[in-house]
């Protein structure tokens, strides 16, 4: 892939543009045929339909495309397998771009779009070996590399989570495992995804399962894909806050919460969706993350998508887990909200809603639900599997934050 000078960019299965090397720069340009059809959408918020090229320097691709790349261990594996460096974005994107998050595919010039092979049957997890799945996902052998991208892996606690996309008999999903030194991460996320659903937050379908060695895995359905009987999965457009704002992934911790929320809500509104609903969902997700002690809600963990109906909306909440037990109980919110990342009282949240243009009463009702559900789950925290001391401390933290959110 290092020698490939031009890549085709597909949007929802249609050839929409091309990425081309020009010395150390990479240039994106829409095709004339795509621009000629006024009904076709832009590839991304930061790449409006325009005949003028968009150029990135020093080996980078434009920010939207950089946001499609994997991170963490999988990025290291792709780099080694492709025999290139971290700043050679186009080569890395060519390796994994056939099945990135959303409905955009990046392929070598002339290569047809393809769908990934089925690798896993959830109903037969007990006969599988999850370690084998992850060995392929992080292999440095070019013939073993999975041609899929999974961006948004955090650089803090949940970066340790072993995550890889898999094609399953029940549809596209993400399989997660506990790494060494971070016990009960999958049970942690499973518990808090369920708690978020009880709070009324949309979350992806998910389930715990064990392989033939008794190792637990968390299977999370991808919500940027719709499985249709007898047909390939339908891809749905999706962009995270960094992509919407035209920022590179390295900026995911440098954003403020209000930047991310405003940018995403504006993009939803421009596309015909509801700005107030988008803001409420983003604030609810952030308040829930604060309640459970999730310090990894960064700019790539807040996203919007084009729903099956065609309207844009905030995605289901994802990567929800308490990071505190792994961070010495001193993990503030990843994105500061109007200058504060901890000790966020009910008044602070209501003031933030007002400053963002959302009626206080809309968020107040949501906070009340979070508090009621949070208190109801305090006696269930032992389901995660932590020892008594860790469970008691997590219970105290959530109880204290319930009081803060209740005012």
| 70 vs 190: CA distance, rounded Å | 22
Q: 364 pairs with which residues across the strands?
A: none
What is the structure's pLDDT at 166? 58
What is the structure's pLDDT at 153? 32
- Tell which CATH architecture fits domain 122-221: 2-Layer Sandwich (3.30)
C-alpha separations of 139 from 3, 101, 135, 145, 197 in Å: 21, 21, 6, 6, 35
DSSP string, 274-339: -HHHHHHHHHHHHHHHHHHT-TT--TTS-EEEE-TTS-EEEPPP-S----GGGTTT----SS-BTT
State which fold the 235-406 domain adopts. 1.10.1070
What is the structure's pLDDT at 156? 31
Residue 240 sits at φ, ψ, to 5 deg, of -90, 175
DSSP string, 78-142: HHHHHT--TT-HHHHHHHHGGG-SSSEEEEETTPPP--PPP-B-GGGGGG--HHHHHHHHT---T
Q: What is the DSSP letter of 152?
A: -
**Domain definitions of the chain by residue range:** 6-108, 122-221, 235-406
Find the helix or strand (DSSP H, E) in which 361 lies: helix 360-376
Q: What is the DSSP letter of 174?
A: E
Closest C-alpha among 49, 4, 50, 48 to residue 26: 4
What is the structure's pLDDT at 152? 34
What is the structure's pLDDT at 157? 33
Residue 18 sits at φ, ψ, to 5 deg, of -140, 145
| 143 vs 110: CA distance, rounded Å | 20
* Cβ-based burial of 96 (10 A; exposed 0-12, middle 13-18, buried ≥19): buried
Per-residue pLDDT of the chain (407 residues; tens, 9 = 90+): 667 899 999 999 999 999 999 999 999 999 999 999 999 999 999 999 999 999 999 999 999 999 999 877 667 777 777 788 888 999 999 988 988 999 999 999 999 987 766 656 666 677 677 777 666 655 556 555 555 554 433 323 333 445 555 555 556 888 888 877 789 999 999 999 999 999 999 999 999 989 888 888 898 999 999 887 777 789 999 999 999 999 999 999 999 999 999 999 999 999 999 999 999 999 999 999 999 999 999 999 999 999 999 999 999 999 999 999 999 999 999 999 999 999 999 999 999 999 999 999 999 999 999 999 999 999 999 999 999 999 999 999 999 999 999 99
What is the structure's pLDDT at 169? 53
What is the structure's pLDDT at 162? 52
């Amino acid at each position: 892939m290092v020698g490939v000078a031009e890549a085709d960019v597909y949007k929802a299965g249609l050839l929409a543009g091309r990425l081309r090397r020009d010395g150390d720069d990479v240039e994106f340009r829409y095709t004339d045929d795509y621009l000629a059809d006024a009904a076709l959408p832009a590839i991304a918020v930061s790449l409006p339909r325009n005949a003028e090229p968009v150029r990135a320097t020093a080996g980078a691709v434009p920010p939207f495309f950089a946001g499609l790349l994997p991170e963490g261990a999988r990025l290291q594996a792709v780099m080694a397998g492709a025999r290139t460096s971290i700043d050679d974005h186009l080569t890395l994107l060519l390796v994994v771009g056939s099945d990135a998050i959303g409905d955009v595919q990046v392929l070598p010039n002339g290569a047809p779009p393809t769908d990934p092979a089925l690798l896993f049957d959830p109903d037969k997890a007990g006969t599988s070996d999850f370690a084998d799945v992850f060995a392929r996902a992080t292999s440095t052998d070019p013939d073993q590399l999975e041609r899929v991208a999974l961006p948004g892996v955090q650089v803090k606690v949940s970066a340790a989570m072993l995550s890889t996309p898999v094609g399953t008999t029940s549809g596209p999903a993400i399989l997660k495992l506990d790494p060494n030194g971070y016990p009960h991460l999958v049970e942690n996320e499973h518990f808090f995804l369920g708690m978020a659903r009880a709070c009324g937050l949309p979350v992806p379908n998910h389930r715990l399962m064990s392989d033939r060695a008794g190792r637990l895995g968390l299977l999370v359905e991808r919500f940027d894909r719709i499985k249709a009987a007898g047909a390939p999965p339908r891809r749905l457009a999706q962009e995270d806050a960094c992509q919407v704002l035209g920022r590179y992934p390295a900026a995911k911790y440098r954003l403020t919460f209000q930047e991310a929320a405003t940018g995403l809500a504006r993009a939803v509104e421009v596309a015909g969706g509801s700005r107030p609903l988008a803001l409420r969902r983003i604030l609810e997700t952030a308040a829930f993350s604060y309640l459970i002690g999730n310090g990894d809600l960064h700019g790539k963990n807040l996203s919007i998508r084009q729903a099956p109906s065609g309207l844009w909306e905030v995605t289901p909440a994802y990567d929800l887990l308490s990071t505190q037990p792994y961070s010495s109980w001193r993990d503030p919110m990843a994105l500061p909200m109007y200058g504060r990342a901890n000790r966020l009282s009910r008044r602070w949240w209501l003031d933030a809603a007002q400053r963002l243009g959302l009626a206080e009463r809309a968020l107040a009702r949501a906070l009340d639900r979070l508090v009621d559900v949070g208190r109801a789950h305090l006696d269930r925290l032992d389901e995660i599997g932590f020892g008594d001391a860790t469970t008691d401390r997590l219970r105290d933290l959530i109880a204290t934050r319930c009081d803060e959110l209740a005012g």
